Amino acid sequence: MQPGLSADQQFFQETTRKFLDARCSPADLRALAADPAGYRPGWWRQGAELGWTTPLVPEAAGGGSISGAGLADLSLAAFEFGRHAAPGPLIPANVAAFSLGRSASSGGGALAAWLERLLSGAATASWLRADPPGTDLGGASLTAGAGPGGGLVIDGQAPVAEAGADADVFLVTARAGSGMVHAVVDASAAGLHRRRLEGVDLTRRWARVELDAVAVPGDQVLPAPADAGFEASSTSDASGDLAERQLCIALCLQQAESVGAMQAAFDMTLEWTANRYSFGRPLSSYQEIKHRMADMRMWLEASYAITVAAIDALDAGRPDASELASAAKAYVGHFGPELVQDCVQIHGGIGVTFDHDLHLFLRRVTAGVPAYGSPAQHRRRLAGMVAERVAS
């Protein structure tokens, strides 16, 4: 994926790759299409043992990354997820672990207990996300009011929550007045209703989740950042705004996944053009096909570039991280699906059949378009950033 990886990083990526090679063949994925969760029991715990849940959590809180740049490390797994169209709640699990990891040490027993279960893979999380006031990135309508004992009462609906139907716990990022609060809500909490949805991906799952005056005890509310006594990690909080950090993490992981899926579709198609003959010539000898592959290769390289740039900025706590993360979404969210659709076109009819592998990757990049803000919403956010900078 990236020039300049350390040997340890390469080893981590290879371990994940081999694991997915063995367990996530296209045939496996087709078989999982009918599975309610999209993966077999034990899957997520095995992944946790490989290190899919810890990189964004400080060592003191039970986590730990290879290189010290936690998001860069984790994105190597995300890239392999995309390259295999692998199942599992990689994004919400890590957003939740990250959020609890910065709070658990000061947040008391309940948060620490959940974090431990998330890190071990014993539990999975879904993330219900409202947009901060004044922003519009397709977030859910979730509002929190004060509850007894420092707790919260949360109302609202998340129409499309990743891994929501099978999650053991929800990380809820809700509006509270003019700010945001973060809390952990048991899936079994009274007033929480969820409904399994069908979706465009073969193994990724979504649910509609409704919260009807769900009471959250005080010890499940994340302390405000200023109160947090967490150790500074490599992903230190530049903006001081947890909701923004969560969003950027989700965007970076999602784009890394999409880039992986783009790479898989591209490689498959390049091989196809060499082996498939038409009119006595390989497809790869037709200039129109060559030029299209050249464009795709350029989109792929550019997608890598902006995704890695955003990850590095976020790991380094740089102030341009949000801008780069939005640019990554705007670019990859547009060119990712276009690239894979071009791959379909070059394959011809076979490329839209269920038995061919291409749609596995088409589904993954397609799923990545509207989630966490559409490319159009991120373009608008970028324009807002531009306006603010130029005006100031």
For another protein, the binding residues in 250-279 under the rule CB under 8 A are 270, 272-279
Ramachandran sector of residue 217 (left: φ over 0; alpha: ψ -120 to 50; beta: rest)? beta
The reply to whether 351 sits near another protein by the rule CB under 8 A is yes
Name the helix (H) or strand (E) containing 153. Answer: strand 152-162
Among its own copies, another protein, none, residue 178 binds (CB under 5-8 Å by kind): none
Question: Residue 186: in which H helix or E strand, if any?
Answer: strand 179-186
Tell me: does residue 31 bind another protein (CB under 8 A). Answer: no
Q: Which stretch binds another protein (CB under 8 A): 13-21, 88-96, 112-120, 286-294?
A: 286-294
For 344-362, letters b (16+ CB in 10 Å) and e give bebbeeebeeeeebbbbbb
Query: Which residue number, 193 or 291, has a Cβ lying nearer to its own copies?
Result: 291
Whether 346 and 331 have beta carbons less than 8 Å apart is answered as no
Our CB check for another protein shows the closer of 189 and 270 to be 270
Q: Are 62 and 119 in contact (CB under 8 A)?
A: yes
Q: Is 384 in the site for another protein (CB under 8 A)?
A: yes
Shortest Cβ distance from residue 379 to its own copies (Å)? 15
> 285 vs 341, which CB is nearer to its own copies?
285
Q: Does 320 bind its own copies (CB under 8 A)?
A: no
Going from the C-alpha of 313 to that of each of 58, 74, 207, 316, 383, the distances in angstroms are 18, 15, 32, 5, 19
Name the minimum Å distance from CB 289 to its own copies: 8
53 binds another protein per the rule CB under 8 A: no
For its own copies, which is the closer residue by CB, 219 or 295?
295
Strand partners, 126: 170
Nearer to its own copies, 279 or 354 (CB): 279
What is the smallest separation between the CB atom of 163 and another protein, expressed in angstroms? 11
Among 199, 218, 225, 317, binds another protein (CB under 8 A): 199
- The burial class, CB within 10 Å (0-12 / 13-18 / 19+), for 7 is exposed
Nearer to its own copies, 296 or 360 (CB): 296
**Looking only at residues 271 through 300 of this chain, which bind its own copies when binding is defined by CB under 8 A?**
286-288, 290-291
- Sequence-distant (6+) residues with CB within 8 A of 198 are none
CB of 234 to another protein, least distance (A): 20
Q: Which is nearer to another protein, 120 or 341 (CB)?
A: 341
Pairing between strand 192-196 and 206-216? antiparallel
Contact 218, 149 (CB under 8 A): yes
Residue whose CB is less far from another protein, 230 or 361:
361
Question: Between residue 200 and residue 229, which ones bind another protein under the rule CB under 8 A?
Answer: 200, 206, 208
Alpha-carbon distance of 143 to 211, in angstroms, equals: 10
Rounded distance between C-alpha atoms, residue 228 and residue 157, angstroms: 28
Minimum gap (Å) between residue 110 Cβ and its own copies:
50
Q: Figure out which of the listed residues 7, 22, 188, 354 binds another protein, where binding follows CB under 8 A.
A: 354
Nearest to 169 by CA among 212, 131, 114, 215: 114
Q: Binding residues for its own copies, per CB under 8 A?
A: 286-288, 290-291
